């Protein structure tokens, strides 16, 4: 008996079955999942007949009755302005422009001719203060009056454009001053409170001058001269006129510094008052302009820890002391 061999399926069919085929367990799970999804979709239609029907009519009638009650109890609110001066005023009807006398118009009449209320009131007050307008230029000078409004009203104002010139006062009135007041004879004007400073000064020593000598220079007053003397005492004496610019009041006044340089000098060979950095207390060191509190405190602490200074270059070990300050301090140090 001949055996019949089964022809194998084609390759594409084997590929589809191997890639997209389902096993029996997967097919059963898919059927169950599909049934659950279908049941979830049909549940609203299946449960809807069992839900109670909602009738909005009773609730609507209740809300309408509550709204009618609130409307009956509501009263219109009235607000009283806290600023009655700035409350809205009723509009003033405008009148056609005809020739008018500005001295007879009220504030309302000015508003009827196109002026704002505040400008109209200002014109009336200005007129009352000066005793009436005598020319158009007085009205034009009213604060807040627009030029366009004045140009529109000017042709109808029954006043001259400019004030008449004042009559010249005859010279006899000045000549008869003493005759009209015999008990108060004419006296010349009293001299000024401050004496005039001399125009030509002789140069004087800056380190020996007092405040009186310094005040002879133009621009140097009592206060500034006192500050110069006080700074000189704290410094120990000026070595040059350039140190004047270190004074706070003269930092921004190069013209005064130039005047001081012109009329003062430093005597050759002048030796400033030295400051003993090894023995001077902190209170004395801090008063020196080139020291100050911070540097004086460090100097005192440094000499206590490392011993006395022997020369000015020993101060270079202090970090907060820069080279420029050390060079300025060098002539004033004593060891």
Q: Is 240 within the bounds of a domain?
A: yes
Question: Is the same domain home to 129 and 108?
Answer: yes
Question: Is the same domain home to 242 and 219?
Answer: yes
Q: Is 251 within the bounds of a domain?
A: yes
Q: Is 258 within the bounds of a domain?
A: yes
What tens-digit pLDDT sequence spans the chain (335 residues)?
A: 556 666 777 888 888 877 877 788 888 888 999 999 998 888 877 776 655 677 889 999 999 999 999 888 877 666 666 666 655 677 888 888 889 899 999 999 999 988 888 889 999 998 988 888 888 888 888 888 888 888 899 899 988 888 878 776 665 554 444 555 555 554 554 555 556 777 778 888 999 999 988 998 888 889 999 999 999 999 999 998 889 888 988 888 888 888 888 889 999 889 999 999 999 999 999 999 999 899 999 999 999 999 899 998 999 999 999 999 999 899 999 88
Rounded to whole angstroms, the Cα distance separating 139 from 149 reads 11
Question: Is the same domain home to 303 and 257?
Answer: no
Question: Is the same domain home to 287 and 314?
Answer: yes
Question: Is the same domain home to 235 and 289?
Answer: no
CATH code of the domain containing 218? 1.10.150
Question: Is the same domain home to 255 and 224?
Answer: yes
Count of domains for the chain: 3
Q: Is 15 within the bounds of a domain?
A: no
Rounded to whole angstroms, the Cα distance separating 105 from 94 reads 14
Rounded to whole angstroms, the Cα distance separating 138 from 203 reads 60
Q: Is 191 within the bounds of a domain?
A: no
Tell me which DSSP letter residue 211 carries: H
Q: Where are the beta strands (DSSP E) in the chain?
A: 204-205, 264-265, 275-276, 333-334
**Tokens 């309408």 sit at which residue?**
64
Contact 205, 265 (CB under 8 A): yes
Which of 156, 177, 193 is a domain's end point? Answer: 156
Residue 297 domain boundaries = 275-334
Q: Is 189 within the bounds of a domain?
A: no
Q: Is 67 within the bounds of a domain?
A: no
Q: Is 309 within the bounds of a domain?
A: yes
């Amino acid at each position: 008996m001949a055996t019949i061999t089964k022809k194998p399926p084609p390759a594409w069919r084997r590929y589809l079955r191997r890639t997209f085929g389902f096993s029996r367990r997967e097919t059963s799970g898919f059927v169950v999942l599909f049934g659950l999804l279908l049941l979830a979709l049909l549940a609203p239609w299946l449960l809807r007949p069992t839900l109670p029907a909602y009738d909005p009519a009773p609730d609507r009638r209740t809300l309408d009755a509550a709204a009618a009650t609130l409307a009956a109890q509501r009263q219109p609110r009235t607000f009283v302005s806290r600023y009655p001066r700035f409350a809205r005023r009723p509009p003033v009807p405008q009148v056609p422009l005809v020739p008018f006398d500005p001295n007879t118009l009220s504030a309302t009449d000015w508003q009827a001719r196109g002026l704002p209320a505040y400008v109209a009131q200002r014109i009336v007050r200005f007129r009352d203060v000066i005793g009436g307008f005598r020319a158009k230029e007085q009205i034009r000078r009213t604060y807040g009056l627009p030029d366009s409004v004045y140009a529109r009203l000017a042709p109808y104002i029954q006043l001259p454009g400019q004030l008449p010139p004042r009559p010249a006062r005859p010279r006899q009135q000045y000549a008869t001053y003493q005759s009209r007041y015999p008990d108060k004879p004419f006296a010349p004007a009293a001299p000024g409170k401050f004496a005039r400073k001399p125009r030509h000064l002789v140069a004087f020593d800056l380190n020996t001058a007092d405040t009186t000598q310094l005040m002879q220079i133009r621009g140097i007053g009592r206060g500034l001269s006192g500050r110069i003397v006080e700074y000189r005492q704290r410094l120990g004496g000026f070595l040059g006129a350039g140190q004047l610019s270190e004074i706070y009041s003269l930092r921004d006044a190069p013209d005064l510094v130039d005047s001081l340089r012109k009329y003062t000098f430093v005597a050759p060979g002048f030796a400033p008052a030295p400051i003993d950095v090894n023995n001077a207390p902190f209170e004395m060191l801090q008063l020196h302009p080139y020291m100050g509190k911070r540097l004086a405190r460090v100097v005192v602490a440094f000499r206590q820890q490392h011993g006395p200074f022997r020369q000015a270059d020993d101060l270079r070990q202090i970090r907060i002391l820069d080279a420029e300050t050390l060079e300025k301090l060098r002539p004033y140090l004593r060891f």
